[in-house]
Structure 1
């Protein structure tokens, strides 16, 4: 029997194990051997499913980006008007900053990898593009770009602060950026 046919979940377990190890040890700390051990798969199956570490990292981070985009979609696809959009953005900042440390670490690991290696920037560009799609329903493209950066910055600051700022400050920052950012058309 072929290795891939006996365990249809093997590829997914490898991707999940890769993300878990990156969250614990950083990209520099992962290896095929560690991933295989964490996933509970034979070391040889790593090369059966992935041509190398780069393919494995791109697919694992691609899976992570899809997860994060789904969180953005859940919060930002609902608002019907500008004020509801502002509230939804504030909710998103607080959900992300109070959420999983794993997600926070994986986000920073992806950014670091993309800063060092241009081929990983495709993932971060797609993530930013998709988040701005929702923001541009309520704000002009320049304001959406600024708001997207604000979401990232406020999320990181709240997640790492010893005393995170409250929702009122988040809403004030969002309001300042979006006061003049009218949707054209």
Structure 2
């Protein structure tokens, strides 16, 4: 049998791994399942990846780049405060809520990173990407609070039967941006001393 030329096989396997993670979780994503879904010989998996960990690292790296692009498209520009608030709302409800697969992948990554330290750089990078973008538009305390809200609400968008509405998110981001719902680490420390 002639060998089939497939120059994009490695990329296809990585993309399929992300689809499989979204459908079956990390535990259900195996070389055998991926080989069948990609219609490639099982031996091709070990040719392209030293093991499942390398494949998962590649897949989650690709996912992190996708999130970075979404955040960048919304927030890597000069925006007035109200426009920045609307950009955050759109990021949450248009981009993240519209990408249910991505939400599940994120959830799987966070669960994996909680048990496997080698995956924590991805979770750190995802948090840092948001925080860095938000600092362009909000104070440090507000950026941290908004970033924490984004992380939490992203989970709710995947698992909650009644996720927050756009208007609720807008009001929450507005309050966090104004500082009315934020207590800074400095003021908390000062209050504790008094």
Q: Same fold (TM over 0.5)?
A: yes
After TM superposition, list the pairs within 5 Å mapping 1:137-176 onto structure 2.
Answer: 137-176=136-175
TM-score (normalizing by structure 2): 0.84
Instruction: Classify the secondary structure of the residue corresponding to 1:80.
Output: coil
- In 2, Cα distance between the equivalents of 1:79 and 1:155? 24
TM-score (normalizing by structure 1): 0.88
After TM superposition, list the pairs within 5 Å mapping 1:18-33 onto structure 2.
Answer: 18-33=17-32
- Give the equivalent residue in structure 2 for 1:17: 16
- Largest Rg, 1 or 2: 2
Residue-pair matches, total: 178
Instruction: Classify the secondary structure of the residue corresponding to 1:164.
Output: coil
Structure 2 spans left out of the alignment, 5+ residues: 183-194
Matched, 1:179 2:181: no
Deviations 1:46-70 (A, max 9, x none): 1111111111000001001111111
- In 2, Cα distance between the equivalents of 1:28 and 1:160? 19
Q: CA RMSD in A?
A: 1.9
- Report if the CA contact (8 A) 2:96-2:102 is conserved: no
- Report if the CA contact (8 A) 1:96-1:155 is conserved: no
Q: Which runs of 4+ in 1 moved over 4 A?
A: none
Deviation of 1:135 (Å): 0.5
- Give the equivalent residue in structure 2 for 1:121: 120
Deviation of 1:28 (Å): 0.7
- Report if the CA contact (8 A) 2:17-2:34 is conserved: yes
- Give the equivalent residue in structure 2 for 1:62: 61
Deviations 1:67-101 (A, max 9, x none): 11111111112352211111111111111453132
Structure 1 spans left out of the alignment, 5+ residues: none
- Report if the CA contact (8 A) 1:94-1:155 is conserved: no
